[in-house]
Amino acid sequence: MMEKEITIYDLAKILAISPATVSRALNDHPAINAKTKSLIAEKAAELGYRSNTFASHLRTRKTNTFGVIVPRLNSNFMSTVLAGMEEVANNFGYNLLISQSLESEIKEQANARTMFNSRVDGLLVSVAYDTESFEHFSTFISRNIPVLFFDRVMDHPQCGTVVIDNEQAGYDATSHLLDQGCRRIMHVTGDTRRNVYAHRLEGFKRALAGQNLPLDNQLILQTDLSQEAGRMVAAQIDQMQEKPDGLFIANDLCAAVCMQALKEMGHLVAADIAIVGFNNDPVSQVVSPQLTTVYYPGYQMGKTAMTTMIGQLTGTKSPDNSEAIILRSELIIRRSSIRVGDF
Q: Tell whether the model's pLDDT for residue 57 goes beyond 50.
A: no
The alpha carbon of residue 278 and the mean position of all alpha carbons in its chain are separated, in whole angstroms, by 16
User: Cis ω on the peptide bond leading into residue 146 (within 30° of 0)?
Assistant: no
- Count of C-beta atoms within a 10 Å radius of residue 143: 11
Whether residue 22 is found in the same domain as residue 95: no
255 within domain boundaries: yes
Residue 322: per-residue pLDDT:
62
C-alpha distances in angstroms, 90 versus 98, 306, 310, 315, 334? Answer: 14, 10, 11, 19, 36
Same domain, 292 and 302: no
Contact 126, 152 (CB under 8 A): yes
Provide Rg for the chain, Cα atoms: 26
How many Å apart are CA 153 and CA 59, to the nearest integer? 26
Decide if 306 is inside a domain: yes
Instruction: Determine, yes or no, domain membership for 1.
Output: no
Q: Using CA atoms of 301, 305, 306, 311 in order, give the dihedral in degrees to the nearest 10.
A: 140
Residues 49 and 97 grouped into a single domain: no
> Model confidence over 243-300: pLDDT tens digits?
999 999 999 999 999 999 999 999 999 999 999 999 999 999 999 999 999 999 999 9
Each residue's pLDDT tens digit, 167-210 = 999 999 999 999 999 999 999 999 999 999 999 999 999 999 99
Query: What is the CATH number for 78?
Result: 3.40.50.2300
Domain end call among 36, 57, 78? 57
Domains identified in the chain, total number? 3
In this structure, are 144 and 262 located in the same domain?
Answer: no
Question: Quick one: 279 and 208 in the same domain?
Answer: yes
End residue of a domain, out of 57, 75, 91: 57
The answer to whether residues 288 and 314 belong to one domain is no
Residue type, 193: R
Residue 92 Cα to chain centre, angstroms: 22
Query: What is the spatial distance between Cα 305 and Cα 299, in angstroms, rounded to a whole number?
Result: 10
Question: Residue 195: which domain range?
Answer: 166-296+331-337
Q: For residue 192, is it within any domain? A: yes
- Give residue-wise pLDDT tens across range 5-50: 788 888 999 999 998 899 888 888 888 898 998 899 888 888 888 7
Question: Does the residue 316 lie in any domain?
Answer: yes
